[in-house]
Amino acid sequence: MKKFLHVLWCSLFILLATGQLHAQYSENGWLLGGGFNFIDDSGTGGSEAFNFSDNWSSVAFPSRFSLGYLLDNGMIFQGFASYNRYSEDVMVNGFAQQTDWNYYALDGLVGYGFKNLIDPRGWFDPYVQTGMGLKRLAGNNELTFNLGGGFNFWINERFAVNLSTLGKWGLDEGNDNHIQHGLGVVFKPDFKKLFAGNGGDLKDGAKGIVKKEETPQDDLLASTEPVAVAPDPSVKEIEQRVKDSIAAVMAKQRSLDQKAEIITQRLKKDLAGISRVSFSTNSSYLEENDYEQLDQLIAFMNYYPSAVIEIRGNVDARGTEEYNAWLSVRRAGRIKTYLTRSGIHPDRIQAVGSIKNKTESPCQDDQPCSDEELAKSRQVEYVLLDY
């Protein structure tokens, strides 16, 4: 008996643990079942499982009924009541009976269904179950340990055909072990819909009368007056509606364009207000005071996290074109490196060279310039590309 109890607790633990790991059934719900049961108490240990005539006992009417509850995690709790009859000449524990015996059983089972592992919306629903039972045969009562499984074949969301097999091990002296098979149907009622009637509220509960709310359709059906039908719209009316719809879409687009322009101007204004680095002559290295100016640019990029800018490294008018092109690219690259090391994504920065300052530089077309004017022409440019 201790061995069977040990197996029972292990089975319950596996079922409960498995039930917490998988997807959920569509909803909780009660399960009502009924059908036939067949018992193999021949003592052959399943070696003659299909010897129906000698080993199986059954009756010709529905003899098994169940009530259960299905949780949305797949756990099933069920209670069964069954009746059977051992007729004479049927093998019981290896011996042929000499008389008829009535068989009664009450079983409480907990199970787990695997439908969600296969197809939550499908019709195939295998399950396993275990539990305890009490049987009465030949005037003797005996506790049993039960372990088995079965299949529900769902015809729709409410009805299923059920096939099941349950091994039963006796826990009292004598250990009358046997197998009980089931064939029947399972019904999952929708109690919410049942008690709610046709979807209306329950009113006048004491009288049990359900009042249906009146709808405009009911008024039309009950009316004997002719109903005015709106005429079909003319072609001109349809064209006007289309024009109005197009005008509304275009107006909305203009509004969006205006908002985008306002945002763009604001970003350009903020970017223009940032102090710009002016490199020393023939140098692409950043100096101490340059970092303070670049920190302003970093603040701008963080404040507008979707902004994309172009950094143009400028040079003054002196030097060859080839040298100035090389130097301008290095200057823009130095600034991009500092920004990316400070956390700005490199995809938001384009570093390009420019051999001619495209801002308002005083040193154009080889005009003589002072040192201050030359320094101004070496200032980098920040250009807004996108936001």
Model confidence over 180-200: pLDDT tens digits?
A: 999 999 999 987 766 665 544
**112 or 213, which is more confident:** 112
Contact 45, 139 (CB under 8 A): no
**70 or 122, which is more confident:** 70
Query: Phi and psi at residue 140, in whole multiples of 5°?
Result: -115, 140
Confidence of residue 156 (pLDDT cuts 50, 70, 90): confident
Query: How many whole angstroms separate alpha carbon 178 and alpha carbon 56?
Result: 11
pLDDT at 75 over 50: yes
The residue-averaged pLDDT of 37-51 equals 81
The whole-number pLDDT of residue 244 equals 85
The whole-number pLDDT of residue 194 equals 67
Distances (CA, A) of 278 to 152, 224, 265, 381: 81, 90, 25, 10
**67 or 357, which is more confident:** 67
3-state secondary structure of 33: strand
Query: How many whole angstroms separate alpha carbon 37 and alpha carbon 63?
Result: 6
The whole-number pLDDT of residue 208 equals 45
**123 or 198, which is more confident:** 123
Angle between helices 288-303 and 235-272 (to 10 degrees): 160
**10 or 22, which is more confident:** 10
Query: How many whole angstroms separate alpha carbon 356 and alpha carbon 333?
Result: 17
Query: Phi and psi at residue 128, in whole multiples of 5°?
Result: -120, 155
Domain spanning 2-193, CATH class? mainly beta
The residue-averaged pLDDT of 255-277 equals 89
pLDDT at 316 over 90: no
pTM here is 0.46
The full DSSP string for 80-149 is EEEEEEE-TTSEETTEE-SS-EEEEEEEEEEEEE-HHHH-TTSSEEEEEEEEEEEEEETTEEEEEEEEEE
The whole-number pLDDT of residue 228 equals 58
Number of other CB atoms surrounding residue 354 within 10 Å: 19
Tokens of 120: 């939550």
Cα 192 to its chain centre, rounded Å, is 25
Confidence of residue 231 (pLDDT cuts 50, 70, 90): low
Query: How many whole angstroms separate alpha carbon 110 and alpha carbon 257?
Result: 65
Confidence of residue 13 (pLDDT cuts 50, 70, 90): very low
352 DSSP assignment:
E
The residue-averaged pLDDT of 281-305 equals 91
The whole-number pLDDT of residue 234 equals 77
The whole-number pLDDT of residue 299 equals 94
pLDDT at 163 over 60: yes
Strands 349-353 and 308-313: parallel
Confidence of residue 6 (pLDDT cuts 50, 70, 90): very low
pLDDT at 105 over 50: yes
The whole-number pLDDT of residue 209 equals 44
Point out which residues pair with 102 in neighbouring strands: 85
Question: Hey, where are the domains in the chain?
Answer: 2-193, 231-269, 273-386
Average pLDDT score over the chain: 80
Tokens of 119: 């197809």
Best CA proximity match to 110, nearest among 70, 82, 83, 64: 70
Chain position carrying tokens 């400028």: 314
Q: Which CATH superfamily is domain 273-386 in?
A: OmpA-like domain (3.30.1330.60)
The whole-number pLDDT of residue 120 equals 74
Cα 208 to its chain centre, rounded Å, is 42
The whole-number pLDDT of residue 109 equals 95
The whole-number pLDDT of residue 210 equals 45
Query: How many whole angstroms separate alpha carbon 29 and alpha carbon 74?
Result: 11
The whole-number pLDDT of residue 227 equals 56
